[in-house]
Chains A and B, each alone.
Chain A
């Protein structure tokens, strides 16, 4: 596991920065997009960290039913258009 992935705060910041940098064009990301943030790590190791971020409510899942994507908690069109929160 790389130092970046091992450091919870730094990893979270890297993921949030990555999402924010692209927030003008998209609000939802495939899991594999995060491989670019942690180029030295195996995807199954990245998975544990990303899912912990969901548990910590930094990220949230978006699912079509067949595919799942990740986004910053509370961000994106879905919330505004559906007025759920």
Chain B
């Protein structure tokens, strides 16, 4: 009971990140699962599961007007079940995506419902009552909090035994298979990022990053730093290219803007 309440609060905290804390990445699986690990008494397991789910959800990001799958609810529930069943990452992985998609519909509902507050605020605005406008902006957080807390609480409180007894019947081969799937799942996150960022002239840079890491075994910090240098060099080259066509450099060699 207490565990279910605490996990519900973890989910509410994750939701607040996007609403009130200005997207500080507190809602990412890596942080959420760590907190779940704290509640469940196994931080290490929480972090490990978080790292895996983080890779899976890498491409799930909150851009523009689209409502993304609910990674907070799903990270909390999936990692809680994974830790309590003792089966770890594979179980979390199998549970996470379906939960994220189901919980997404709740978020959409909240965002439709929020129009009510928008209208209310507009009425106050037309009277010039800034305090009431401000309060109206705060109120929807109750809806958001409910949309996180209630599903997490219900799932943990009623679902734990059911899920655990189902998990006992899953054969080892399937668990192994889920492990293979877990290893492959980051490909989806990367593909989603590529899909978001790529254009024809950027393909070589993706390959370059891949080749550096594959052949030279450099770690990410090294690749990131090299990449920053390359970004500067490429931009300089493009500048020089421009000079040949017509000089926009003054006599001191300083580019005239």
A binds B: no
Residues of A within 8 A of B (CB): none
